[in-house]
Chains A and B, each alone.
Chain A
Amino acid sequence: MHSLKTAIFLTLSALTAFTLSGALLAQQGATESVLLHPPANSWPGYHGDYSGRRHSALTQITPGNVKNLTLAWAFQTDQTAEIKSSPLLVDGIIYFTVPENIWAIDARSGHRIWHYSYPPSEGEHIGHRGVGMYKNYLYFLTPDAHLVSLNAKDASFRWKVTIADVSKGYWTSMAPLVVGNHILVGVSGDFDNLSGYIRSIDPETGETQWQWNSTPPVGTPGQTTGGMTWMPGTYDPELNLIYWGTGNPTPVLNGSTRPGDDPYTCSIVALNPDTGKLVWAFQVSPHDTHDWDAVETPVLVDGDFHGQPKKMLMQSSRNGYFFVLDRTNGKSLLTVPYGPVNWTLGIDSQGRPIPNPKKEPAPDGRLIAPDEGGMTNYRSPSFDTKNGLFIVDAHPSWSIYFAKPADGVYGWAGADYTVWGKGLIEAIDYQTGKIRWTHEAGEHGSGAGVLTTDSGLTFTGDAAGNFLALDSSTGKTLWHAGSGSQIVSSPTTYELDGRQYLLTSSGGVLFAWALPEQ
């Protein structure tokens, strides 16, 4: 009797709560809890979760049924700008970008909820990686190096702050990383001798909380400039450290005015997100002269390394090397090439490649592997936790690099040309660097990132613009769909109403895929 009464009471309470919360609480936004532990029906940050693994626990789409994958909906931007962003998904709404534009669309139907346009602006419009989200606010970087905050529900304007001086040659294109009450932003620019930095912005007021500079002030004698912070980093809440890749030094192809290693360019750095204080740095390319920034995703993995439990950080770097670090202290665990490289004399005692001075750009040219685009670039790799494989869209390539005194010591300061390249999806055994399987992805190379799932699937794309689903343990193709354009983004996945969606883009079109509805 008592229990029955209680049950009825509970049911009534639940109904009441449901009704009220339906009206008031449905849109929580990207709360700290959502960002730390993204529910299956969300993708609240650039990488999904903070780890950068781009691996999903969803298992509805499997190696057995993926051949039935069908188009759930497509969304056309009706613009020629290519989608390079990773769409966020919070409370059933997808937010994605191209330069100066944000769309909010319904994750169930793909229909537009709103479209925000930033006024035509100065600065490079080469690409845009997406928005950051904190609670119900969006944070959007612009080609003229401003950070704009909008209300997510209707794109209404909150505030705008200057991040860098566009007239000096900076622009911004990255997706802010949101950690606690910090909106972490980075800057872009390679054609001028400028300092790179990460800045932490207050999500409510837009005020600067701290700034970490990757290189000394411009004009410091004998010191490098550069170290741009093109891409969002990753975050370990237990260690309370953010991990960020920094860009190449400037002048880009001529290192004569910046002798030595040029810290902290081409580095992976660990910072305290509350203070901006540097905790450690590991330089993947000392004294770079080939534009190989180290901004590729610093992927955080906890697991066994040669019999010992380790908190690791892995990067397939643009310079052709795969790195495994102990992320508590930045010490090297493994440095190994994952394709042809010919620019080093070996690996030093700290696990860093030693650049060969004879392979610096020269007036009559130097044949270099990989090319300037690198063995991989900004598109995400994925760590398949199930198979222990680091899967990356690799780009074996060769190029010629030139620099002569007449090219000067400002900005690019030389010229380089790709001679040949191809796309190769590689599955790297992180304990040895050995390549478990490869999958040819076409001439010149693919621009697709990688997503893996717990069901054993690898989603990526090829140079011809085919979306691909591969078997994560073998690399064998299980599904494909021609997209009609170049793929230059990384896939995401989510589950809504009990249905798993795969979200991909090519050209100016976003595609959502799912199994046929029952």
Chain B
Amino acid sequence: MIFSRSGIFLCVLLTASYLSAQANTPPQSDQRPASTQDQALVEKGRDLFRKDCSFCHGRDATGGESGPDLTRSKLVAADINGDKIGDVVRNGRPDKGMPPFDRSPDQIAALAAFIHAKAASAAANGRKGAGGRRGVDPSDLQTGNVEAGQKYFNGAGGCANCHSPSGDLAGIATRLQGLQLEEQMLYPRHFKPPVTVRPRSGESITGTLDYLDEFTVGLTDANGYYHSWRTRDVQYKVDGRVNAHVELFSKYTDDDVHNLMAYLQTLK
């Protein structure tokens, strides 16, 4: 019972997490190219960026192992003079490992100018620069075979045990492209699984897992309220089906990954 209900929940969550996935379209052509008068601001922003941001986001903001490519970020594309970038800089993204940085409005404006300049030049010259980390284009990820991918999806991969091309994955290739689709395919890292908590007395509660360490389990219930318990006081069960993604890592060949990617890209 619990899991048939949470199965639906899972689909809803997957959709939500797909929609909220960051950075999935190239910057729009209305990026403000750095004008001459902005050049000083861009240079100031470059200095700030290289001190605090470049180790994770790459020297040219094109992304790194722990920080996304900002030149393709939707948030950056929607930002005007730091109004959105500033929130992220000042508050950080603790859930994704980004610390907050206490920076003045002038510094935020400079950082934003630099990031916008990099986004514009990346769009214009195919992301050529010196030294920094690089990116991945959707055209790089077209080497797989659709039929082999479909066969893997329905067979050896076991994907069809949880997913359906006409259900949760319908239109997935419209919502996500390129690297973002491949990352989500390999492991939906922002997905929060359903959890059921059974206190010693009273009824079980099912919700979305919000927090779990050795000592505390926290969930958000269907009404959006957060609850937590000491793990020693309750029994809890996290829907572990997402771990099927982890179990596949050691079984995949690189061809399997590319074929599966080819198949998912047909689900528009």
Contacts and interface: CB of A to CB of B under 8 A. Distances in A.
**Bound together:** yes
B92 to A, nearest CB: 8
B131 A372 contact: no
Interface stretch (B1-9, B57-65, B74-82, B199-207): B57-65
Contacts of A358: 254
A415 B213 contact: no
Contacts, number: 135
Interface residues of B, number: 50
Interface string B130-145: 1111111000111110
B215 interface: yes
Contacts of B33: none
B214 interface: yes
**Which applies to chain A's interface (DSSP): helix, strand, loop or mixed?**
loop
B128 A406 contact: yes
B30 interface: no
A412 B182 contact: no
A419 B186 contact: yes
Contact of A364 (B66, B140, B246): B140
A312 to B, nearest CB: 31
Determine which residue in B47, B130, B142 has the highest number of CB atoms from chain A within 10 A of its CB, and name it.
B130
A398 B213 contact: no
Given A169-B131, A420-B246, A415 B136 contact: yes
A369 B131 contact: no
Interface stretch (A9-17, A119-127, A345-353, A428-436): A119-127
B134 A414 contact: yes
Contacts of B135: 415
A73 to B, nearest CB: 23
B51 A143 contact: yes
Contacts of B63: 415
Given A363-B140, A365-B254, A466-B213, A419 B183 contact: yes
B99 interface: yes
B102 interface: yes
Contacts of B189: 419-420
A293 interface: no
A79 B66 CA distance: 22
A354 interface: no
A112 interface: no
23 contacts: A80-B99, A80-B102, A123-B51, A124-B50, A143-B51, A169-B131, A191-B59, A192-B130, A364-B140, A364-B142, A366-B254, A367-B186, A367-B257, A373-B65, A398-B187, A398-B246, A402-B136, A407-B134, A408-B130, A414-B134, A415-B62, A416-B65, A444-B97
Interface of A: 79-80, 82, 122-126, 143, 169, 191-192, 291, 340, 342, 358, 362-367, 369, 371-373, 398-400, 402-404, 406-408, 410-420, 440, 442, 444, 462-464, 466, 477, 480, 486, 507
Interface of B: 47, 50-52, 54-55, 58-59, 62-66, 97, 99-102, 126, 128, 130-136, 140-144, 179, 182-183, 186-187, 189, 211, 213-215, 245-246, 249-250, 252, 254, 257-258
